[in-house]
Amino acid sequence: MKTILYPQNKVLDELCQRPEIEKTELGAVVADIIKRVKSDKDAAISYYSEKFHGIPIGNPKVSSEEIRDSSAQVTDELKKAINTAKTNIEKFHLSQLITEPVTETFPGVKCWRKSVPIEKVGLYIPGGSAPLFSTVLMLGIPAKLAGCKKIVLCSPPGKDGKINPVILYTAQLIGITEIFRAGGAQAIAAMAYGTESIPKVYKIFGPGNQYVTKAKEMVQLDGISIDMPAGPSEVLIIADSSANPVFVAADLLSQAEHGPDSQVIMISDNLQMIESVKEETEKQLQSLPRKDIAGKALDNSKLILFNTLDECIDFSNLYAPEHLIINTSDPEALAGKVINAGSVFLGTYSCESAGDYASGTNHTLPTNGSARSYSGVSTESFLKKITFQKLSREGILNLGPSIELMAEAESLYGHKNAVSVRLKSLKNG
């Protein structure tokens, strides 16, 4: 990890840059994948599975028998933990279902909004070396609560050609049965355009690497909605002299182990804390099973010393982290100054892992600075809002003249006439 002391304002934007693949290469590769999936469909899914992972697959659909049998491969202890997380996530996301009141904006004019579930949604669940069954909970539960009719799940298979049984068990637990062995950009393309086996959906959700994120951006240009640009994971930690460096180092490594393109940042107003965290991070790294992956991520990560905690929060807002941990003596004081962040964790014991798994908040969050304009996934992400209005006889009489004047001022006389004929009818009885 690189240590930076008292950076000047002119370099702050540079410090906010995330590690990334050369954009021209990335875009070209993903564009070719999308093109091939659109033309060859299931055959393309099998081709890329063998090309990238060495795993040839036939029919990508997971059978109902395989889904059912997954339960026997999950321990009772893990099932209990998953159910605890499921309960908390359901509680938090159920609270987001709100019926909005009817508003009378003008005498005789009533307006309201109705929440309607998106009919067909696609969930991308990262697999491979770290099968994220927790993401099944984070995406599947709000989709179910929202009432989506069709929920399609794609996840890359392991070396045995099968999706991790814990992913299958978790999907079955919340009622998802349309599951397909497909990963990477090709899975995003399949859900966007459809194949012989994988249905086309209206909106795609889920985190992934830069290829997955680029594919989501590209299919969005064809009118397929996405949740957000959710790319490689990241965390920023603000720690003062009161923080425990063992905890801070553990939080940094918890994100670094996601992948070599992940980024972790620790900022402080205390040099001794930075030095202690750096030492502790190197120590804990050696005991991690994924230390090679985490080590590569640490090469792209930084420890930054500022003069004050206010400067720390200013930099955090500029960086706009996916995860923000405030581990200070008074975290609530800084929390009130947070403007840009995906999800915030306050105090000594609020590790980011709690949000990843079981506290109840969603872990599908905006990355790469997207927290400046995007929110994390919620139940509302699976809903669309339709507005309604109803004008009574009194309403058109009261509001009509204003509409006529505005329409005429814009030279839209057809708009004006739609009001005028009604007013004339009412005046003539």
Catalytic residues: 322-323
Instruction: Give CA–CA dist 301/208, Å, rounded.
Output: 19
Instruction: Give CA–CA dist 223/229, Å, rounded.
Output: 15
Angle between helices 393-409 and 413-427 (to 10 degrees): 150
DSSP H or E stretch at residue 85 = helix 76-94
Pairing between strand 343-346 and 109-117? unpaired
**Six token digits for residue 237:** 């930690």
Burial of 98 (0-12, 13-18, 19+ CB in 10 A): exposed
Strands (E), 125-279: 150-155, 178-181, 203-205, 225-226, 234-239, 263-268
* Beta carbons within 8 Å of 39's beta carbon, 6+ residues apart: none
The count of residues in the chain is 429
Instruction: Give CA–CA dist 224/64, Å, rounded.
Output: 28
Q: Are the CB atoms for 171 and 179 separated by under 8 Å?
A: yes
- CA torsion angle for 372, 377, 382, 383 (degrees, to 10)? -50
Q: Are the CB atoms for 113 and 100 separated by under 8 Å?
A: yes
Strand partners, 124: 154
DSSP H or E stretch at residue 74 = none
**Ramachandran angles phi, psi of 194, nearest 5°:** 85, 150
CB-based contacts of 29-36 (< 8 A; 24+ apart in sequence): 29/185, 29/211, 30/185, 30/211, 30/214, 30/215, 30/218, 31/218, 33/184, 33/185, 33/186, 33/189, 33/211, 33/215, 34/185, 34/189, 34/192, 34/193, 34/215, 34/218, 34/219, 36/186
Positive or negative, the Cα torsion across 155, 224, 370, 340?
A: negative
